[in-house]
Structure 1
Amino acid sequence: MGYNKANNLIEKYLGKKATLKEEETVESWYINYARNKEDKLPEPDYEAVEAEVWSILEPKPKRSWSWQRIGIAASVALMLSLGIYFYNSSDRKMASKAKYATDIVPGRNRAIIRLANGKQIYLSDLKSGVSIKGKQLVYDDGSNIEAIHAKDAEVLTISTPRGGQYNVELPDGTLVTLNAASTLKFPSTFLGALNRVVELDGEGYFKVVKNKDHPFIVNTTKQDVKVLGTHFNISAYADDPTTLTTLEEGLVEVRSKNGSKGTLLKPNQQSILTASNRITVKEVNVTDELAWKNGLFIFNEENLESTMRKISRWYDVEIYYQDKLPPMSFLGSISRSKSLSTVINLLEKSGGVHFKIEGRRVIVMK
């Protein structure tokens, strides 16, 4: 069952629109969760929750709601609102709560700007973005960083390390948000250029300023994306098996480096470029795909390896697989502001996998 289907089923349960079989399914999730949880869910304060619960659980004829079921509904509502409902498609048994000797804080605003002359500027982690204003580099609050003295356009490079992210406003006003371990190369000015061309390695979300006379092109190692003005996300990490382009608004053309024909994307579509240079297109939930930009991890039937790569980049840790594990996938969401131990503890609760933190290394075990 997919994440959206699970969410819809829980919402039907809370709205008393679920069939008897659907109600039993939701209650079985809760019962299984409570049975296997080391720290049992506390007994609800029935008097305190009665008014709130009955406001969404109106009784229907021929179907009575006991206090036990109201408690279940309240707990299911809590799990849904916290966004920590996880299940593992290969093994749904809950693991015992892990103990970690060390912990690692989440990523933050971190980036480096490299000028054409080789000078490196470490951007402030107290700021969230940088922009190009004429011949001046400035922070998003208007404070100056560095003057650009080149007479012609020079190539600037902004890089986020593992455990970092940053915003950049390009000379044409286009806004880019870079995810962790990502690099964007761009000119200090687009004046005189037929096309507005930038290079991306890693992941970035783009809000491109419209200019039909000067298309905006994002080059990656394996593909080029051409737009006139639109909002889209590209994930092109070297260690990922595919390159993903997700369109939020507008129209883009995706073309592999070795392909002759471009593929057009419409809003809410995602192109997947494989190692064999084959492009496929599917419908996606854009909110889920852009969750990283909004401070969330969302795992939607995501396999273990992909999940751990995201964790590795954001927390700047090495992942080591001690055991060979069966295929498994994860479903759920959690804030990227949480500590590493909080995130992997939730993954553990989905069953079938355990973790150990040693310095900046996460060991994955049975």
Structure 2
Amino acid sequence: MDKKDIKKLLERYLADECTDAERAIVEDWYNRQHSEAPHDIPAAEIEADIAAIKKELPQPSARRRFVNLRYHAAAAIVIIGIGVWIVQPRFFNKLEDAPLAVIDENDILPGGNRALLTLADGTAILLDDKPVGKIAQEGNNIVYKNADGELVYRRSDGPPSEVRANEFHRITTPRGGQCQLTLPDGSQVWLNAESAIRFSANNSGDERIVELTGEAYFEVARDANRPFKVITGKQVIEVLGTHFNVNSYPNEPVVRTTLVEGSVKVSEKSETRSVVLKPGQQASIGDQRRLTVHDVSVADAIAWKNGMFSFNDSNIESIMRQLSRWYDVEVEFEGNKPEFKLWGEVYRNVKASEALEILSFFNLNYRIETVNGVKKIVISG
């Protein structure tokens, strides 16, 4: 039995697609293994154990649904390096048996909808606590906040005002913030933490240009006559109408553009090379500014938009950079930084302590400190 079979077996469990017999056997296996420290169980022993279980499992005759415990469970699901899923202890607890949560005063709440809108005249508007309705107007451009907290640009019905080429708006999310908006052309944007976009507020000109720092997911309104361009520090992405994600944080070693549907053209900033992506492909460019293309999991690339952290062959530094941005906290390593890779998912709507439980499976310890009002996560082996 290879690793793919093991993974499929447990993926069926996590998706509530197991038979009653499969569910009982998988939970029994977990409970027996959890009596030992997960990292102390040899890989061969785990695979042999699950292979024996596999022989006992009847083939499911039809898809069955059970009460989904994932939403009552703690945050982390991980795959250790040998490819076997290890689920954190509380995953299998019945809801009524779960202990009451203990709130640590040093714990850190997850991020939320927080952003700053800067108008063309320099007016800065903090959007966090603005009520639903009209937020600002500049010329014929009106900015609304809807009941879901999304910003929406609309044109007023009055006589057109003078169009100025330099009417740019900027939306910035802080660490621990995110924002969803509809641009003046109807395109939708989801902006991740510690990110910013700059765009023309009057929706004029032969091109629709957005400048991006950080990470954003785009669903671009089709307009065959006006290409939509996203400009980052290392890439230029050109589309007519499509869905894609761009990760372009200054402190990340690689800029990544992932195509969800449609087609995009990605160019190096120097315009020496360009590629046209197909859905499921990712264009990346690193410090050496060489553009490469890979097939990737779209679900992983846009997990943040759907309320998840998704780690796929990620090192601890990459993971902690993501957590640092979302929880608005500094990260410090004591001793040598671990070099192994992690796979798994963590919900973004949980406290930092719950998200960090993923580390306990790898003999890593963490603590949250508060010094002079500033919170910090310290990681040690």
**TM-score category by the smaller chain?**
0.7 to 0.9
Displacement after TM superposition at 1:334 (Å): 2.1
**In the TM superposition, what are the counterparts of 1:239-250 in structure 2 within 5 Å?**
239-250=251-262
Partner of 1:35: 36
Q: Is the 8 A contact 1:100 1:357 kept in 2?
A: no
**In the TM superposition, what are the counterparts of 1:186-201 in structure 2 within 5 Å?**
186-191=199-204, 193-201=205-213
Relative distance call for 1:158 and 1:347 in structure 2 (3 A) is same
Superposed CA deviations along residues 267-312 of structure 1, whole A, max 9, x for unmatched, are 1111121111112212222122111111111112211011000000
Return 356-365 or 92-101, whichever deviates more.
Answer: 92-101
Relative distance call for 1:255 and 1:347 in structure 2 (3 A) is same
> 2:107 matched to 1:103?
yes
Among 289, 298, 309, the residue aligned to 1:297? 309
Relative distance call for 1:131 and 1:277 in structure 2 (3 A) is farther
Partner of 2:345: 333
Among 81, 84, 102, the residue aligned to 2:76? 84
TM-score, with structure 2 as normaliser? 0.73
Displacement after TM superposition at 1:325 (Å): 2.5
Relative distance call for 1:79 and 1:194 in structure 2 (3 A) is closer
- SS of 1:206's partner is strand
> 2:167 matched to 1:161?
no
Q: Which amino acid aligns with 1:353?
A: L
Among 96, 110, 113, the residue aligned to 2:117? 113
Relative distance call for 1:6 and 1:236 in structure 2 (3 A) is farther
Relative distance call for 1:125 and 1:256 in structure 2 (3 A) is farther
RMSD: 4.1
Displacement after TM superposition at 1:243 (Å): 0.4
Displacement after TM superposition at 1:34 (Å): 3.8
Among 348, 354, 368, the residue aligned to 1:357? 368
Relative distance call for 1:29 and 1:175 in structure 2 (3 A) is same
User: In the comparison of the two structures, how many residue pairs are matched?
Assistant: 325
Among 256, 275, 289, the residue aligned to 2:287? 275
Distance in 1 between the 2:152 and 2:118 partners? 16
Superposed CA deviations along residues 14-57 of structure 1, whole A, max 9, x for unmatched, are 758xxxxxxx99986664334238xxxxxxxxxxxxxxxxxxxx
**In the TM superposition, what are the counterparts of 1:1-366 in structure 2 within 5 Å?**
7-11=7-11, 15=18, 31-36=32-37, 63=56, 82=73, 84-89=76-81, 102-125=106-129, 134-141=140-147, 151-153=163-165, 154-191=167-204, 193-344=205-356, 346-359=357-370, 360-366=375-381
Does 1 or 2 have the higher relative contact order (CA < 8 Å, sep 6+)?
A: 1
Q: Which amino acid aligns with 1:106?
A: P
Partner of 2:50: none
TM-score, with structure 1 as normaliser? 0.76
Relative distance call for 1:90 and 1:307 in structure 2 (3 A) is farther
Q: Is the 8 A contact 2:283 2:292 kept in 1?
A: yes
Q: Is the 8 A contact 1:109 1:125 kept in 2?
A: no
Displacement after TM superposition at 1:262 (Å): 0.9
- SS of 1:347's partner is helix
Distance in 1 between the 2:296 and 2:327 partners? 26
Displacement after TM superposition at 1:124 (Å): 2.9
Distance in 1 between the 2:307 and 2:207 partners? 32
Displacement after TM superposition at 1:185 (Å): 0.1
- SS of 1:350's partner is helix
Distance in 1 between the 2:207 and 2:326 partners? 33
Q: Is the 8 A contact 1:330 1:350 kept in 2?
A: no
Aligned-pair identity (%): 33
Distance in 2 between the 1:206 and 1:168 partners? 10
Uncovered stretches (5+) of structure 2, i.e. residues with no partner:
20-24, 39-52, 59-67, 91-101
- SS of 2:362's partner is coil
Distance in 1 between the 2:196 and 2:185 partners? 19
Q: Is the 8 A contact 1:104 1:339 kept in 2?
A: yes
Distance in 1 between the 2:3 and 2:76 partners? 12
Q: Which amino acid aligns with 2:10?
A: I
Partner of 1:48: none
Relative distance call for 1:79 and 1:112 in structure 2 (3 A) is closer
Distance in 1 between the 2:154 and 2:241 partners? 29
Distance in 2 between the 1:180 and 1:128 partners? 22
Q: Which amino acid aligns with 1:352?
A: N
Q: Is the 8 A contact 1:94 1:350 kept in 2?
A: no
Q: Is the 8 A contact 2:182 2:188 kept in 1?
A: yes
Q: Is the 8 A contact 2:153 2:184 kept in 1?
A: no
Relative distance call for 1:174 and 1:242 in structure 2 (3 A) is same
Displacement after TM superposition at 1:158 (Å): 0.3
